[in-house]
Structure 1
Amino acid sequence: MVDRLNTVLRRMPAWAIYILAPLPVLWIYYLGLTGGLGIDPAKRIEHELGLWSLWLLIAGLAVTPIRRWFGLNLLKFRRAIGVVTFFYLLAHLLTWLVLDVQFQNVWADIVKRWYITVGMLAFVLMLPLALTSNNCSLRRLGPVRWRRLHKMVYPIALLGALHFLLLVKGFQWEPILYALVIAVLLAARLNLQTLRLFRVSTRA
């Protein structure tokens, strides 16, 4: 079954993700414009785009563990997932700037509200990753430096989880579950890297 899926995935172009990526955004904005998101559509749009950003961050982190645990190879799509994640983060940020606060007291909110501070930090850290997610940057930086830079996605994912935790009021399971999933995926990555180092040391 997994082999069949991998065969299908090898035939699928990664650029298909870029074509499909705007569809949920368009649908969310359509619901907001047509009254499908309640009495405060700006907040709901902002929330939905934030959730999509988290889902995509989790999807990107899950690529390697899924290959290790289940044999399903999604590596060819990981870069596209990362670029689309930035696209959703940007849409999330612009919704907050334009529809929510309407460019008023932006800096004051960033400084005073911790969840906004954390969210902005995650976005700033994501910028160099988005700008270097191309073959030209890979050649210029070299594979080692490029991979080292793109490991910034790990703290970005943690900041995304923290942003959600700080945002909600009171005890809620949803942001806690997202934080736990991200923690498990990062722990899996740590274990895989530790295993690689152990194998290298034993061969030396």
Structure 2
Amino acid sequence: MDIAAPLNTALRKVPAWTLYIVGAAYAAWLFYLGLTGGLGVEPIKALEHAYGLVGLQLMIAGLAITPLRKYAGLNLLKFRRAIGLLTFFFILAHLLVWLVLDVQVLSEIWRDIVKRTYITVGMAGFVLMLPLAITSNNMSLRKMGAASWRKLHKLTYVAALLGALHFLWLVKGLQMEPILYTAAIVVLLVLRVTPKLAQRTAARTA
């Protein structure tokens, strides 16, 4: 029995724009919890972590779309752009909480970026996401051409790895949560990249 078939049928009825509403509502809910004491005794740190974690989870979801379609027959392609833009939104929110609510002082922000490796790596990942977010529209796709657009958006792979490293180095000691996220990203990247490398090798040797 093809389990993916009924799921694909149901998902075709779900508009992609609903993800934006759900994402914005959840971000607002987390912010509300921070304001009202629902995130514990350190609400700014908790909010910063929550936004970053959701961003990383969405990045993993975006990377999983192609393997899920290839190996499980589950077609989530219509949601890929929304997931990508929501990933950027939550990572931006994570950064803004750190900049505006946590550190606040410009000189200290720059010092942390330069001296703290996990922040340097995190900022590098965010910078790589900027052109991806800016070009995530049909007009950019038409102007750039499909090949150039796809090539640019391979920066997602690097940004995902940098996000995983940021999380790994952020926590103290070896903790299972960041290790699991990193492992998930590595596995998904291998599933995406390996078939392409095999095809190129076969084409060269043919």
Secondary structure of 1:33's match?
helix
Q: Give the structure 2 partner of residue 125 of structure 1.
A: 128
Residues 24-80 of structure 1 show CA distances to partners (whole Å, capped at 9, x for unaligned) of 111111111111111110000000111001100000000000111110000111111
CA offset at residue 195 of structure 1? 3.8
Alignment of 1:31-180 (within 5 A): 31-104=33-106, 105-180=108-183
Q: Give the structure 1 partner of residue 21 of structure 2.
A: 19
Q: Tell me, in whole angstroms, the C-alpha distance in 2 between the residues paired with 1:37 and 1:10.
A: 36
What is the RMSD computed on CA atoms of the aligned residues? 1.4
Secondary structure of 2:12's match?
helix
CA offset at residue 201 of structure 1? 5.3
2:193 to 175, 180, 190: 190
TM-score, normalized by length of structure 1? 0.95
| Structure 1 portions without partners, runs of 5+ | none
Q: Tell me, in whole angstroms, the C-alpha distance in 1 between the residues paired with 2:40 and 2:22.
A: 26
Amino acid at match of 1:194: L
CA offset at residue 196 of structure 1? 3.4
How many residue pairs match? The answer is 203
Q: Tell me, in whole angstroms, the C-alpha distance in 2 between the residues paired with 1:7 and 1:171.
A: 42
Q: Tell me, in whole angstroms, the C-alpha distance in 1 between the residues paired with 2:195 and 2:11.
A: 24
Residues 90-127 of structure 1 show CA distances to partners (whole Å, capped at 9, x for unaligned) of 10000001111023411011001111111111110000
Q: Tell me, in whole angstroms, the C-alpha distance in 2 between the residues paired with 1:46 and 1:97.
A: 10
Secondary structure of 1:81's match?
helix
Secondary structure of 1:21's match?
helix
The runs of at least 4 consecutive aligned structure 1 residues that moved more than 2 Å come to 194-202
TM-score, normalized by length of structure 2? 0.94
| Structure 2 portions without partners, runs of 5+ | none
CA offset at residue 199 of structure 1? 5.9
Amino acid at match of 2:43: P
CA offset at residue 200 of structure 1? 4.6
Secondary structure of 1:11's match?
coil
Identity %: 61
Q: Tell me, in whole angstroms, the C-alpha distance in 1 between the residues paired with 2:11 and 2:43.
A: 37
Q: Which stretch of the first structure deviates more once superposed, 5-14 or 113-122?
A: 5-14
Q: Tell me, in whole angstroms, the C-alpha distance in 2 between the residues paired with 1:192 and 1:60.
A: 18
Q: Tell me, in whole angstroms, the C-alpha distance in 2 between the residues paired with 1:192 and 1:71.
A: 16
CA offset at residue 176 of structure 1? 0.8
